[in-house]
Amino acid sequence: MGVMAYLAAAIAVGLGALGAGIGNGLIVSKTVEGIARQPEAKSTLQTTMFIGVALVEALPIIGVVLAFMFYVGA
């Protein structure tokens, strides 16, 4: 197995996790800000937040799948 395959796998997982962490932080912080401004919209904002977080979490899952493909393919 080539060293480049290990490096590609590490980069795919690492950048996927970094991006998801930043994205989740922004989503949650803006949701809390929105709830602080309009407490009556809490239910709607939380629903939208959970959908956004689920979409953002797809990125690291795809990164892990790519990492396995790089790892096995090498």
Q: Using CA atoms, how far apart are residues 6 and 20, in angstroms rounded to an integer?
A: 21
Q: Using CA atoms, how far apart are residues 45 and 31, in angstroms rounded to an integer?
A: 6
pLDDT at 71 (0 to 100)? 78
Q: Pick out the chain residues at pLDDT < 50.
A: none
pLDDT at 74 (0 to 100)? 61
Model confidence, pTM:
0.79
- Residue-wise pLDDT for 18-27, tens only, equals 999 999 999 9
Q: Using CA atoms, how far apart are residues 68 and 39, in angstroms rounded to an integer?
A: 44
pLDDT at 59 (0 to 100)? 87
Listed as own residue / partner, the contacts of 32-40 with beta carbons closer than 8 Å and 24 or more positions apart are none
Tell me the CA distances in angstroms from 42 to 24, 55, 56, 70, 72, one per residue in order: 18, 20, 21, 43, 45
Class of 3-73 per CATH? mainly alpha
Helix (H, G, I), strand (E, B) or coil at 12: helix
